[in-house]
Amino acid sequence: MALTDDTVDKLSYQIALMRDLAQGKRNVEYSIADKGKLKTYRLQVVGEEKIKTAIGKLLTVKLIRNGSNPKRFSYLWCAPSLHYLPVKIEHHEPNDDVVEVNIQSAKFMLNQ
């Protein structure tokens, strides 16, 4: 598979998203290497939302990621107070299955 300099994987794109949101970007696009194929993830900010989590109430930036199938999409809630870490992810499948991931704890180890 031919990769470009900006290709990321399904996990590291979340780090790139955190960086881009911190830089004020509202609509982002990533080239994702996934199972031998290149995919494009496009995310756009749809608003701000305060959500209750296991670590307390957090103000978040809510994003949506749509694919080629309009019935398959994901929402991500990223907390500015946690360097835009995704604290909730909700993925919807065309058969109405929903997978939800929620933060349980966070610990940042910053170099000083």
Express each pLDDT in 65-91 by its tens digit: 998 888 999 999 999 999 999 999 999
- Where does the chain have alpha helices with state H? 12-22
**pLDDT band at residue 112 using 50, 70 and 90 as cut-offs:** low
pLDDT at 32 over 60: yes
9-26 per-position pLDDT tens digit:
988 999 999 999 999 999
pLDDT (0 to 100) of residue 67: 80
Distance CA 10, CA 80 (A): 21
The 3-class secondary structure across 88-102, one letter per residue, is EEEEECCCCCEEEEE
Alpha carbon of 70 to those of 65, 67, 95, 101: distances in Å? 10, 7, 12, 21
Q: Summarize the confidence of residues 52-75 as an average pLDDT.
A: 94
Q: Summarize the confidence of residues 42-57 as an average pLDDT.
A: 97
Distance CA 112, CA 110 (A): 6
Q: Residue 12: how many CB atoms within 10 A of its CB?
A: 13
pLDDT at 94 over 80: yes
DSSP state of 55: T
